[in-house]
Structure 1
Amino acid sequence: MTLHPLLRLIAGVMFAVSLLLTHYVDPNWVWFSVFICVNLVQSAFTRWCPMITILKKLGIQEG
């Protein structure tokens, strides 16, 4: 899997997990969802995403 599809997969899974944790474990997990959303919005404006940096260091290639 290439970089950008993998990034979308990770973001979607993280968001789904955070919603499940919010519902089943503790309502304060909603802040994890907020963190994910804020990071996605900032990356749209700055064109820098921390997860892309991590994935590139792990050797994931751009498609």
Structure 2
Amino acid sequence: MNVDRAVLRLAGTMVLISVVLVALVSSWWLLLTAFVGLNLLQSSFTGFCPAAIIFRKLGVPTGCALK
């Protein structure tokens, strides 16, 4: 697994957790989904992703998209 896949897995997990929390707790949890989506969007333009930085520091090998 490389950083690219780890970031995608983290984002997908956060979106699914958000969906469950919306169904069980409050619709305000949609803000978490919006935050994840906005972060993915800005990282596609800028290449800056805080999650990728954390994964690299944890020793996950870099991929081709998020360096």
**TM-score where L is the length of structure 2:** 0.86
Q: CA deviation at 1:18?
A: 0.7
CA RMSD of aligned residues (A): 1.0
Q: C-alpha separation between the residues in 2 aligned to 1:22 and 1:57?
A: 32
Structure 1 runs (4+) greater than 6 angstroms displaced: none
Where is the helix percentage greater, Structure 1 or Structure 2?
Answer: 1
Aligned residue for 1:49? Answer: 49
Q: C-alpha separation between the residues in 2 aligned to 1:22 and 1:40?
A: 20
Aligned residue for 2:34? Answer: 34
Aligned residue for 2:61? Answer: 61
5+ residue gaps, structure 2: none
Aligned residues: 63
5+ residue gaps, structure 1: none
Query: Matched residues, percent identical?
Result: 35
Q: C-alpha separation between the residues in 2 aligned to 1:7 and 1:35?
A: 14
Q: Secondary structure of 2:29's partner?
A: helix
Q: CA deviation at 1:23?
A: 1.3
Q: C-alpha separation between the residues in 1 aligned to 2:36 and 2:54?
A: 15
